[in-house]
Chain A
Amino acid sequence: MKTAAELELQSYVLLRLGERRFALAAREIAELVAPSRVFRFPQQTKEIEGVILRRGRIVPVCDVSERLLGNKLTSRRFYLLAARKYGEHTEWVALPVSGECELINAEMMPAGESDSNHVAGWLSHGAEVIEVLDLEALTPGPGTLSTHHPEVSAAQEARP
């Protein structure tokens, strides 16, 4: 039989950005991949630096360290592919990280009113208190759309 405290435990992935560690709910993580070529093309969403190709999918790369630490990562060891929700459906986004990731079970303390909107909560792990990130607040999405565009499917067959 589980205790009440055990029931609250959830899995989180700890990721390193520079000198700091952050956490994401493990259910939001698809995989950790080695850095690959970033393809850049003209676009105006400044948080997105380009796209990578992964298993036939084209995945946008979003360096969240600029927002979290104030500067871009100088070295990238991996891309953490996270599942970002956009309303009803989910798409991958690649987050560059600068070190190994770790899977832990912990109890999350909810974010306070004074916390930034990208903070979903807090974890106490070892001697550290770690921010749990809210991907929807941290990465760009239709909330910042300047014009209306019809919804399109994630992948569509080319038109003849």
Chain B
Amino acid sequence: MQLSAHAKIRGPRAEQIILFRISGQLFAVSSASVQEVRGVDSLAGMAQEIPLSTIRKVRHSVRRGEGTLYVVNGGVHFGLPPSAATLVFFLRNTRVALLVDGIDRMSSMTQLQAMSHAFCHEERRWYRGLTALDQTVVPVVDPSGFLSLEELSLLEKAMEARNLGSEAGETYRQ
């Protein structure tokens, strides 16, 4: 039996990934999931504090287009020791701007192994799976795993409380 030319050249599909670090730990994210990478300094003028946030990993929001994004501290999210973030990833199709320490390199993966069922807690939401790169294992983050619906709802309430507070302040000043 002869294979078609298309079948002959078809190998495993590769996915472009960004390898990045938070508190020394290496992670990967699909480059297609990252809409923009900026320095944290650029947030200085646009980030607003959320004083009543009950979500420890989120302390600021950013207006972007029509919507509001929440700035997620990756170290707090993953339970890692504090570190100095230098970059922020704006994650596509989410409301997350993720603080990271730095980009390690760009790479590509051809295999993504789903999390073993032995892992049975929050990590199942955090990661799409694990990949082996250069004889090391790297967790591939799931952009939708940084904020749950419950957390988003709590943040919305904190934002409303902040906005009401600032409106009341303006009325009082008038």
Residues on A with beta carbons closer than 8 Å to the beta carbon of B121:
43-45, 144-146
Please count how many residues in chain A sit with their CB below 8 Å of the partner chain's CB atoms: 39
Task: Give a binary string over B96-123; 1 marks a CB under 8 Å from any A CB, 0 the rest.
Answer: 0000000000000111111111111111
Q: Counting chain B CB atoms within 10 Å of each CB, which of A42, A86, A139, A142 scores highest?
A: A42
Q: What's the A-B contact tally at a CB cutoff of 8 Å?
A: 116
Please count how many residues in chain B sit with their CB below 8 Å of the partner chain's CB atoms: 37
Asked whether A57 and B113 contact (CB < 8 A) given A39-B137, A141-B118, A145-B124, the answer is: yes
For the complex formed, measure the closest distance between the CB of A61 and the CB atoms of chain B, giving whole angstroms: 9
Residues on B with beta carbons closer than 8 Å to the beta carbon of A59:
116
Stretch at the interface among B9-17, B39-47, B52-60, B65-73: B9-17
Identify A60's interface contact among B110, B111, B119, B124, CB under 8 A.
B119
A86 and B116 alpha carbons, distance in the complex (Å): 10
| B residues 106-154 touching A (CB-CB < 8 Å) | 109-126, 129-132, 135-139
> Is B164 an interface residue when CB atoms closer than 8 A count as contact?
no
A139 and B139 alpha carbons, distance in the complex (Å): 21
Q: Which residue of B lies closest to A150 (CB)?
A: B124
Q: Which residue of A lies closest to B135 (CB)?
A: A53
> Is B37 an interface residue when CB atoms closer than 8 A count as contact?
no
Asked whether A84 and B110 contact (CB < 8 A) given A42-B25, A149-B124, A160-B15, the answer is: no
Contact A42 B78 (CB under 8 A): yes
For the complex formed, measure the closest distance between the CB of A17 and the CB atoms of chain B, giving whole angstroms: 18
Stretch at the interface among A5-13, A20-28, A105-113, A151-159: A151-159
Interface residues of B (CB under 8 A from A): 12-15, 25, 27, 30, 78-80, 109-126, 129-132, 135-139
